[in-house]
């Protein structure tokens, strides 16, 4: 049992305490709101800061810097290139310009060898990746770009270096090849030709192209009419030459594959005439 006045005093204190709790809770709620607002402001500031840092989309080696130090970069839809970056220099491509007359011989996976002007004496290997279809035409000459993939683990190849490329069109380990000069040389007179071979040749007059009976040792010799895709090479034997008719194969503009019309007419190591000179 307490007095009436003590009860009223306790009740008043209780209500005051409840009011204080409500005020404190309101202050906490307001503080939490301030914290969330501060967090939102921090997040916005961090995003704006991140926008001020330009990051490369790939890791690699910088090939070219296209902006100057201190230059202002403007953020817009048409962003200019700042750096040219190579992702992996251990694998490179050679872009080869191939004339339309030769493009039919180029196939994906084909073996390729090439040399570089700046790396004289070294030969590199590669394979054809693909032939680009967007050909370029200049002065009525159509040129296709062929991608050649090559390994560059040793980092010997550099970007933009000039390469001289040879495509392996066909491989045959048992070919006979002769210098192109051997297909152009012709004996100056019948006296240079072996006696047993003279009967197969006739002198042709340069004006009327009519053959004369029997060779004249003082006149040049010519074969009657050679079929297309055929040629003649001359073998040196005992200071005289003997003609061998051959079928012509592919040529790299320096040497040409030859196959004798008569089997075993020539063998590897035979002396083929490519020219002559007179001693003074």
Give 220-252 pLDDT, tens digit per residue: 444 444 456 888 888 888 888 888 889 998 887
Mapping DSSP to helix (H, G, I), strand (E, B) and coil, where does residue 202 land?
strand
**β-pair partners for 112:** 126, 167
Give the percent of the chain with pLDDT over 90. 30
**Max Cα-Cα span within the chain:** 164
Task: Concatenate the DSSP letters of all residues of 32-56 into one string.
Answer: HHHHHHHHHHHHHHHHHHHHTS---
CATH 2.60.120.10 fits 87-167, yes or no: no
Residue ranges covered by each domain of the chain: 1-41, 87-167, 176-260
pLDDT of the residue at 279? 62
pLDDT value for 207: 39
Instruction: Please list the residues that pair with 94 across neighbouring strands.
Output: 148
CA-based R_g, the chain, Å? 44
What pTM was computed for the model? 0.54
pLDDT in tens, 172-228: 888 889 999 988 888 877 778 877 777 655 543 343 444 444 444 444 444 444 456
Cβ neighbours of residue 187 closer than 8 Å, sequence gap 6 or more = 193, 220, 221, 234, 241
**What pLDDT, on a 0 to 100 scale, did the predictor assign at position 202?**
52
């Amino acid at each position: 049992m307490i007095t009436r006045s003590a009860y009223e005093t306790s009740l008043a204190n209780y209500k005051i305490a409840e009011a204080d709790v409500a005020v404190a809770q309101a202050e906490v709620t307001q503080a939490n709101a301030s914290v969330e607002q501060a967090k939102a402001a921090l997040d916005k500031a961090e995003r704006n800061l991140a926008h001020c840092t330009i990051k490369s989309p790939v890791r690699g080696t910088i090939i070219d810097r296209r902006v100057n130090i201190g230059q202002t970069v403007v953020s817009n839809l048409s962003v200019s290139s700042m750096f040219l970056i190579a992702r992996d220099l251990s694998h490179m491509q050679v872009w080869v310009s191939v004339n339309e007359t030769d493009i039919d011989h180029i196939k994906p996976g084909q073996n390729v060898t090439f040399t570089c002007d700046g790396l004289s004496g070294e030969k590199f290997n590669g394979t054809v990746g693909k032939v680009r279809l967007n050909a370029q035409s200049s002065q009525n000459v159509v040129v296709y770009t062929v991608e050649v993939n090559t390994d560059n683990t040793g980092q010997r190849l550099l970007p933009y270096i000039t390469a001289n490329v040879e495509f392996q069109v066909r491989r045959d380990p048992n070919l006979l090849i002769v210098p192109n000069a051997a297909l152009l040389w012709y004996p100056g007179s019948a006296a240079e030709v072996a006696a047993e071979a003279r009967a197969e040749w006739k002198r042709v007059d340069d004006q009327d192209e009519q053959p004369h009976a029997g060779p004249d040792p003082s006149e040049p010799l010519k074969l009657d009419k050679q079929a297309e895709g055929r040629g003649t090479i001359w073998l040196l034997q005992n200071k005289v030459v003997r003609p061998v008719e051959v079928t012509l194969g592919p040529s790299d503009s320096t040497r040409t594959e030859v196959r004798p019309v008569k089997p075993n007419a020539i063998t590897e190591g035979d002396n083929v005439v490519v020219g002559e000179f007179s001693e003074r």
